[in-house]
Amino acid sequence: MVTHSSKTKARNYFGTDGIRGKVGVWPINAEFILKLGWAVGKVLARQGYGKVLIGKDTRISGYMFESVLEAGLSSAGIDIHLLGPMPTPAIAYLTRTLRASAGIVISASHNPYYDNGIKFFSASGTKLPDEVEAEIEAQLEQTMTTVDSAHLGKAVRVVDAPGRYIEFCKSTVSSETNLNGLKIVVDCANGAAYHIAPNVLRELGADVVEIGVEPNGLNINLNCGATHPATLQKQVLEEKADLGIALDGDGDRVMMVDHEGHLLDGDELIYIIAKHRKEQGTLKGGVVGTVMSNMGLEHALQNLEIPFVRVAVGDRHIIAELKRRQWCFGAEPSGHVICSDAVTTGDGIITALQVLSAMRSKNQSLAEIKSGLHKYPQVLVNVKVPAICDLTTKPRIQAALKTIEKKLGNSGRVLLRCSGTEPLIRVMVEGEDAKEINQLAHQLAAVVEEEFTL
């Protein structure tokens, strides 16, 4: 199976999740982001006057991009409300509640500090519609101008943004839910949630041990957070904590660790949430996963008579499918979990709270409440390639793929897909026998590599 995004190909700047790249390398430089702010402002001005929120994570380049976006928007006559460091989902929430025309997030999510990116939320807190992105791209081709001085946009700082969001997070679980007696280690990845997540947990009664809460602009996601959970696993065992929570740099994905140090990814977290909602009688529809979701999740949900469907990788695709089916829950193994009855995008803090609420309701530990899901061994191999191409036009690769699929039969899966952000072919093989699938994954990866070196 190969997935492609025609939407990405049709865009000069926007990818599947905004614009992202290395700082200083076009288009992630001050000159382009200045004009991007202006272009967004011009498009919004045509739709009627309104303010725009700007939030960011903790990477050092955020200061620069915040300033130039502010200047660009102001030159188009748009007022700006600056939120400072805030999780991506918080910006989506505040865009709605502060009645802004749009929200802008300056973040490269789980990437290292030397990357950055810009993504947008509509007035309703969802990703921008394709037609608005297209209009912004068209505006970028025009010469930048400045409105009359009397009509320049003004900028103010929203000083109570963290408090507003903390209260919202707590409101997503029952008022009877408390975390009294739970010792929780929370790793904020030296990112945008460093001043939010520990306070949410403390205010709900938990004994909180916090790590990854000393951002210096360069240490975001550095050997910590959801992309490097070993740090949290070690700390949970050392502290003899009940569990651990790891967020990524912008707070939209989460991993959790039980008291034995075992890691729970997005598949396991959505299983816990969906299972609990099913037991409560409040589950609407089923669960949306991706082509990367483990077969074990699919089978566990089937055993609970919960419908499950797969879409292409990316939370954008999950959200679109949830909306189409009028369901509420979806997830990627990477920790993007969507609880659309509470929020419009992935939210690491709120996902963790849903899991904690289920634990408290059933009076079970994290290790106990995940029972019923048995994940299949899964091997992922990345193959660097000179350029991405349509793999269906490569006969040798397709022949090797079919051979492995036939060998696995109904007891496994094989997936070939192109990375949406890097020149990589991702090879994934899943099955019952760990040794066999490891061999098959590297066998297929070798064929892919040979094909691109011929």
User: Could you give the residue numbers annotated as active site?
Assistant: 109
Q: Which residues pair with 416 in a beta bridge?
A: 427
Token representation of residue 206: 């938990």
How many Å separate Cα 87 from the centre of its chain? 11
Contact 51, 101 (CB under 8 A): yes
Token representation of residue 158: 């929203």
Helix/strand number for the chain, H first, E second:
15, 18
Contact 287, 307 (CB under 8 A): yes
Contact 123, 103 (CB under 8 A): no
Whole-angstrom distance, CA of residue 321 vs CA of residue 268: 20
The size of the chain, in residues, is 454
Picking from 27, 54, 63, the residue whose alpha carbon sits closest to that of residue 217 is 63
The 10 Å Cβ neighbour count of residue 351 is 32
Whole-angstrom distance, CA of residue 115 vs CA of residue 11: 20
Contact 328, 339 (CB under 8 A): yes
User: Three-state DSSP class for 348?
Assistant: helix
**Residue the block writes with tokens 């991009």:** 65
Token representation of residue 36: 């991007």
Q: Is the peptide bond before 198 cis (omega within 30 degrees of 0)?
A: no
Contacts of 365 (CB under 8 A, 6+ apart): 242, 243, 258, 259, 359
**Which DSSP category does 143 fall into?**
P
Token representation of residue 24: 């200083």
**Which DSSP category does 261 fall into?**
S
Q: How far is CA 91 from CA 17, 63, 108, 127, 408, in A?
A: 15, 17, 15, 12, 44
Picking from 332, 327, 328, the residue whose alpha carbon sits closest to that of residue 310 is 332
The 10 Å Cβ neighbour count of residue 15 is 17
Per DSSP, the residues of 312-343 read -SSHHHHHHHHHHHT--EEE-TTSBEEETTT-
Bridging pattern class, strands 115-122 and 19-22: antiparallel
